[in-house]
Structure formats: structure tokens, C-alpha cells
Amino acid sequence: MLTHILGFPRMGRGRELKRALEGYWSGDISGEDLRDSARRLRLAGWSMQRAAGLDLATVGDFSLYDHMLDAAVMLGVAPPRFAAAGPEDLDGYFRMARGDSRVAPLEMTKWFDTNYHYLAPELGPGQAFAPDPGALLAQAAEARAAGFRCKIVLPGPLTFLRLAKSPASGFDCLDLLEPLGEAYAEILRRLGRVCEWVELDEPALVQDLPQDLTPRFRAVYAALIRAARPARLLLAAPFGSLVPNLPLVADLRLGGLHLDLARAPEQLDAVMSVLATDTVLSLGLVDGRNVWRVDAVAALALAERAAKVLGRQQLMLGSSCSLLHCPLDLDLETGLDPELRSWMAFALDKCRELRALADLAHGRDRSDWLEENVRAWASRRASPRTCDPEVRRRAAAVTQDMLRRTLPYAERATAQRRRLKLPLLPATTIGSFPQTDAIRDMRARRRRGEIGEEAYREFLRGCVREAVARQESLGLDVLVHGEPERNDMVEYFGERLRGFCFTRQGWVQSYGSRCVKPPVIYGDVSRPGPLTVEWTRFAQSLTPKPVKGMLTGPVTILCWSFVRDDLPRAETCAQIALALRDEVLDLERAGLGVIQIDEPALREGLPLRRAGWEEYLRWAVDCFRLAANGAAPGTQIHTHMCYCEFNEIVEWIAAMDADVISIEASRSRMELLEAFRRFAYPNEIGPGVYDIHSPRVPAREEMADLLRRAAAVIPAQRLWANPDCGLKTRDWAEAMASLANLVAAARQVRGELGGAAGTGS
């Protein structure tokens, strides 16, 4: 049984790639320096994989920004507004990812149901492809020169098209499947001569697909199998079950077919029954999406079942999906509680788990490893740290009345207008302000014990004073405290809730150079005391303008953490919601009239097939309402969502019954407005009018135009002006210039619409 993974973390042990990227963007290092760093990181990654016992080194999973962007460059599909783009033209490449003062970047959105952001290729009718796999060939040459057996991996053509966008109204990118298949065949003819395996990742196969796609898909893949020879073509379908789409792959003479058996172990028998006789089955036994150890007994049972049907010689063992979604090395976590640590496995540990499982499946003696794995699982199942009877009792006592506000929106809006006295088209931000070098330095000094707690808090108070003063000088209508005390919008809350633990080096890539360090939920969740009240109350004391209390919502805390797998996610989410409900009431008692509960992860938590949507959305929306709806009618509840496809679930977003929702709209040029043309959204909305993930400063007229587009669909009395996300990753110069233009745009359109009347229905 060959062992392999679908991808490996890119950033390095010390986030070396992050530092190199940001050094290049700031002009501190050259392009050649950046390329050298990338080569060293690739070699280190392959070396770690081999040392952990993997047979195949994965080539092509490394990227300077995003693998979908790399695929678009490889296929020669840069949109016309980008004069040039490619790995040899670093500035052009990064212009597609980040934009500049002249052009907007590609749209960014979530990779299936993960918290990784990919860049959506832009395609149109008659799209031409100019395939050039030179970058992949160069990486394969690096691996071979270093003595590695390599498997090249790249996104498959179906997934590439499913995730692409088109500026042409009504155009279906799947119409390009055949010409794109020809481009892929040209690529595979070159790749197949330099490696044993070529893997095409097709997570789109676990989604709902058009009924008429089967013959087209099979014809394209039959041609790709031939083109890849002498390499064997491995088709991977991570993140769910392949069973509903089995006709697409039944008896297809693939070199191999990879299944995600961590997410969907029940699919094994059905897939084996239609597998071509000479196709290897790759078993994704080790979970690439979470930090828990493999259940070796269950995994070996699946491997044995497959071996009885197919024989061991027709099996491979792998990770369920790319390990991009996991931290790199548990050995770096010397400060973790030993018991909790014994339950976990990071990317390198998961590679070692695959080696151990393969050895055991072949009858080799790994009894010490197996016994230790069984002990760890027994410890976790029996530990009293995972269950809090009081939390379970409170969750069981939730009633339907707790999910509803005491008055409908129209009556709440009247009370809120009287209290807040906001103008038409009020201007606000999403919450965070730049996390400066000074803030990061003070946080590090406090962690090292170089400054005391009171000195640190006085520094933070100074940051809040500065943030409030800057907002007042800009003329924003609803202010925020800027969140200088928060390292991350989820980690900050997890550190103050029971049932969470934290890593020191558990970084995971979110997009580009942006990394997050998700908390780990190992037990029942509760709030021992106030989480945010002190800082928001202090900010409100500095200004007569309303200041928003800023909370991360229960679904987002759930989705952006590594979640326990021994309790239904809905139950954990309800526990988090009850903790946040207490915080909302405390903020209200502290005098705050506006409270924002961010839920950017609501859409990404959707099951990948529609059959599971209603169940998920019902409990996810209920959890938001449980957190928010203890508030009095005069308290304005906001929520925020970004970088997801919301058009198909707008009715459920309305069911959240937030008084105001702010939502990403700038990169998609107000694409979401189509949803509001067909659905009369009943409450207030702030469609983001500039993209904070790009360093460009959008012009006043650009933002004014987006506001006019929004006002043509949404009544102006229910419209807000805001960025599409928080500003923590920007610097103050960019933030101030962009926000000044935002305020000017809001005032201009306000004047055109003829009013300073308060918001209402």
C-alpha cells in the first residue's frame, strides 16, 4: 500500500513563507529571494513527508498565494484587465491576487466548507486556454533531483469550472468542459513523463451536479487517462461522499480513485462495487480537516474491509483531504496540557499515522503505536473534562421564546431611530482596525513577561482612544473600539470560554500570507465571566456617537475552531450561543445601543449537498437567534458576513432577524443584489463597498456608484455604507484614505437621495 497525502501545509514551521511574502510586498526582499524561500520550503516539506514515512512526495500543492490562482495562470486565463501574470512575473501574479491602484483583484471566496479562501478564475464564452505547466515541471524536477518519488497534484477540470466566475450574465462555465479538457490533456501529456502519479482533485464530485454531465465528464476523463500515460491518473474526491455521483466514475479506467473515508466512511462498499478492476482505491483514512488522532481501530477495519474485496495490492492509504487545513507539527506544542495533547495529531503526525496504519495493514509489528492510540482514545472518551452537566442542563432548557425578539423589526426600528438618531445611509466599519507593529510588539512583550498587566492595559486604552478619535475625525456615524486587545476574532473568545484549549504554533493558512490559529474545542462550552464589556464600555465613554459592541457569532466560533468530534456540532453551537447570549445582555446593561454578532462562517458551514441544507440552516440560524434575541427592542443588533455565496440562502439570512446585516459585495460588484431583486429583504443592509483584502484605495466615485446600485434595489432608508470586512490586515494610511472616501461617498449619495432622515422601514 503506497502512502501519500493530498497536500501539505505551505507556510513552514516558523511561517517563513508569510514573512517572505510580506517582505517582497513591502520591498524588503527581491523576487529571487522570494523564489529561494519557496524552494527551501518545498524541499523541507518533502523531506518532512519522507521522514514521516510517506512513499510519495506531493508536488504542486505549494503556492505563493493560492492553488486555484496557480491553475488559472497555468491555463493562461488571466482576465484582460491584467496585462500579464505568471510565476515568472511575480508582480502580475500578485496583482491578480491583491489588485492595485488601477485594477481590482480576482474575487475571493471560501474553498468548499473550509475556512481557506481561494481566488475564483474569471471565464467567459469562447474562452481560450493557453496551457503551460512549466512551473509544475520545475517543481517536479526539484523533487526528482532531491531523490523523491513524486506525485503531482492540481485542481481537476470539473472543480476548476464549478468554482470559476463569469462576468457574462447567464454564462455557465461548465460549457467549457470539453475545451478545458483538451488544455488539461496537453498538460498531462507533459506531466505524465516526469512522475509516477498525477492527481486531479475533484471535490466538486461530492456536490450536486447537473444530470446531463455524466457522458461529458466520462469522455473528458477517458481522454485525460490516456494523456497522462505512462503516469497513472489519480482522481480524488475529498470533503464528502461520492455515492450520489457514482455514474460519473463507475468502471472508469482510472489509475486510482481517492475517497474521503474520514468524512464519509459509509461510501466504501458502494464505490468498491463499481470500481474498474485495475483501478487502485486510495483510502482517505486520516482526517485532514481536524486535529484529532485517527481512530486506528476504526481505520484498520475499513482498510481490512477494502482489502478483502480488492486485495492489498489494489489499495493506497492517504489523508482524507489536503493537510493544508491542519497545523504543521504537534511537537512544537510543548505548553499544551499533556492529556489534551495526547488526543491530537497535526499534519506531520497524520503522515506518521498513515505509515503506521499501512504497516499494520501489512502485518508488520506496530503494536506499541496501536496500543498507545487505543489508550488515548479511551482517555478521551472517559475524561470528565469533556462534559459539564450544568451546561447540558441549560442547553436542554432552551425554549422557542428565547429565539425571538419581543417586537418585530418595524417596531424595533422605530425605537432604535429614536435612540441612535442616525442619518440616512449611516457610515460605519465592520469592527477591527489595523493591528500595528506596536500592538503586536506589546502583545509579545506581555507574553514574555517584559511588561506588567496594567502597563499593557494602559497601552490598549491608548489604542482605543486613537481609534475613536480617528473615526470621529473621519465623520463615521457608528464607531467601533478597534479591537486592539484581540489577536483573532475567534481565538480571543475561545481564550475566555471554558471547553477550549490553545496552541502556540498551530497556524493554518486562510489566504495569501494570512494565517489563523484556530482554538480547539474539546469539551462543553460556557462563559465564566464578561468577554468584551470593559473595552466597548471604555470606547463609548470617549464619544457621544454610538459604539458597537463586537462579538463573534456562535456558528463562526464553531466553524473556525477545531471542533470536538464526539458531540453533534449543533449541540456545541448551542452551548456557544448561550454563552454569547449572556455577553449580549451584559453589553446592553453597560449602556451599549448597538451590538454586532459576526457570522461570516454561516454559509461555509452548509453541507456540500442541498439535501442537508435545511437541517443545518435551521439549527445554525436558531443558534444566532439564541445568542442575539435576549436584547431589548431599542438595542440594534448587527451581523456581518463576507466572502461566501449567500444568494441561495438569503431567506435564511432574513430569518436571522438581525436589525442590520453587513455583507461582502465589492469584489463581486454587487452580485448579491440579484438576490434582493427576487427577495424583499425586510431589514437593513450594508453591502460592502470596498475590498479590504486589497491594498488599493478605492475612489469616492467608485464607492458612490456601488451605493447607487444598492439603492436601486434596497430602500435607501434601510441602506448602510461600510467596508466589506474588518481592517486589521491593513495599515492606517490605507484605512484612513479608504474610509475618508467611503464617508464622502455616503454623504454624496445621501445628498442625491435627498435626506438626513433616520434609518427606518
**pLDDT tens digits, one per residue of 499-512:** 999 999 999 999 99
Cα–Cα dist 701/746, whole Å: 10
3-state secondary structure at position 594: strand
DSSP string for residues in 69-135: HHHHHHTT---TTSS--BTTBHHHHHHHHH--SS-----EEE-TTSS-EEEPPB--TT-------HH
| Neighbour-count burial of 395, counting CB atoms closer than 10 A to its CB (0-12 exposed, 13-18 middle, 19+ buried) | middle
Q: What is the mean pLDDT of the chain?
A: 94
Least confident of 195-199, 237-241, 492-496, 661-665: 661-665
Report whether pLDDT(757) > 50: no
Which stretch of 86-95, 292-301, 423-432, 587-596 has the lowest confidence by average pLDDT?
86-95
Rounded Cα–Cα distance for residues 730 and 732 (Å): 7
Judged against a pLDDT cut of 70, whether residue 86 lies above it is answered with no
> Cβ of 300: how many Cβ atoms within 10 Å?
17
Confidence of residue 535 (pLDDT cuts 50, 70, 90): very high
The C-alpha cell at 5 is 497525502
Q: Calculate the CA dihedral of residues 320, 323, 326, 332 and round it to 10 degrees.
A: 130
For 408, other C-beta atoms within 10 Å of its C-beta total 13
Note the pLDDT of residue 672: 67
In this predicted structure, the answer to whether residue 169 has a pLDDT above a threshold of 90 is: no
Non-local (6+) Cβ contacts of 448 within 8 A are none
**Residue 576 confidence (pLDDT):** 98
Which of 78-92, 264-278, 595-609 shows the highest mean pLDDT?
A: 264-278
Q: Where in the chain is the domain with CATH 3.20.20.210?
A: 2-384, 389-397+413-752
Lowest mean pLDDT among 264-268, 406-410, 606-610, 646-650: 646-650
Contact 191, 231 (CB under 8 A): yes
Convert the pLDDT of each residue in 341-391 to its tens digit: 999 999 999 999 999 999 999 999 999 999 999 999 999 999 999 999 999
pLDDT in tens, 563-611: 999 999 999 999 999 999 999 999 999 999 999 999 988 988 899 999 9
Q: Judging by beta carbons within 10 Å of its beta carbon (0-12, 13-18, 19+), is residue 753 exposed, middle or buried?
A: middle
* Cβ-based neighbour number of residue 57 at 10 Å: 27
Is 693 considered catalytic here? Answer: yes
Name which residue leads in pLDDT, 82 or 674.
Answer: 82
HSE toward the beta carbon, residue 198, CA cutoff 13 A: 31
Q: Does 759 score more than 80 pLDDT?
A: no
pLDDT score recorded for residue 469:
97
- Over its C-alpha atoms, the chain yields an Rg (Å, rounded) of 26
Distance CA 186, CA 59 (A): 18
- Predicted local confidence at residue 669, as pLDDT: 60
Q: How far apart are CA 586 and CA 529, in angstroms?
A: 10
Residue 260: partners with Cβ closer than 8 Å, 6 or more residues away: 206, 237, 238, 239, 240, 241, 284, 320, 321
Q: The C-alpha cell of 487 is what? A: 489577536
Are the C-beta atoms of 356 and 300 separated by less than 8 Å? no
d(CA 196, CA 189) in angstroms, rounded, equals 13
Could you tell me which of 353, 330, 370, 430 has the C-alpha nearest to residue 660? Answer: 430
- Count CB-CB contacts under 10 A for residue 581: 22
Q: Report CA torsion sign: 4, 5, 11, 13.
A: negative
Neighbour count for residue 627 (Cβ, 10 Å): 31
Question: What's the whole-model pTM score?
Answer: 0.90
Characterize the bridge pairing of strands 108-110 and 117-119: antiparallel
- Binning pLDDT at 50, 70 and 90, where does residue 306 land? very high
The confidence score (pLDDT) of residue 687 equals 87
Give the 3-state secondary structure percentages of the chain, helix then strand then coil, rounded to 5: 45, 15, 40
Instruction: Specify the CATH class of 389-397+413-752 in words.
Output: alpha beta
Cell readout for 312 is: 492489498
Average pLDDT over every residue of 656-663: 94
User: CA-based angle 271:324:297, to the nearest 5?
Assistant: 50
Cβ–Cβ under 8 Å, residues 29 and 20 = yes
Tell me phi and psi for residue 60, to 5 degrees. 105, -10
What long-range pairs does 566-575 form, CB within 8 A, spacing at least 24? 566/380, 566/381, 566/386, 570/619, 570/623, 571/395, 572/521, 572/525, 573/619, 573/620, 573/623, 574/395, 574/398, 574/619, 574/622, 574/623, 574/626, 575/391, 575/395, 575/499, 575/524, 575/525, 575/526
CB 646 within 8 A of CB 603: yes
489-495 average pLDDT score: 92
Q: What are phi and psi of 454, to 5 degrees?
A: -70, -40
pLDDT band at 671 (very low <50, low <70, confident <90, very high): low
User: Given pLDDT bands bounded at 50, 70 and 90, which one contains residue 644?
Assistant: low
Grid coordinates representing 449 are: 513577561
Summarize the confidence of residues 707-728 as an average pLDDT.
91
- DSSP letter string, 339-382: HHHTTB--HHHHHHHHHHHHHHHTT---HHHHHHHHHHHHHHHH
Place of cell 461548465: 174
What lies within 8 Å, CB to CB, of 735 at 6+ separation is 433, 434, 727
Instruction: Return the closest-CA partner of residue 322 out of 10, 609, 643.
Output: 10
From 4, 67, 481, 693, active-site residue: 693
Q: How confident is the model at residue 691 (pLDDT cuts 50, 70, 90)?
A: confident
Q: In the predicted model, what is the mean pLDDT of residues 39-60?
A: 98
3-state secondary structure of 462: helix
Q: What are phi and psi of 750, to 5 degrees?
A: -55, -45
Return the percentage of the chain with pLDDT > 70, whole number.
Answer: 97
> What confidence category does residue 760 fall into, taking pLDDT thresholds of 50, 70 and 90?
very low
Q: Answer for the pair 340, 501: CB distance below 8 angstroms, yes or no.
A: yes
What pLDDT score was predicted for residue 646?
73
Domain at 2-384: CATH architecture: Alpha-Beta Barrel (3.20)
| DSSP sequence for 502-566 | --SS--EEEETTEEE---EEEEEEE-SS-SSHHHHHHHHTT-SS-BEEEEE-HHHHHHTSB--SS
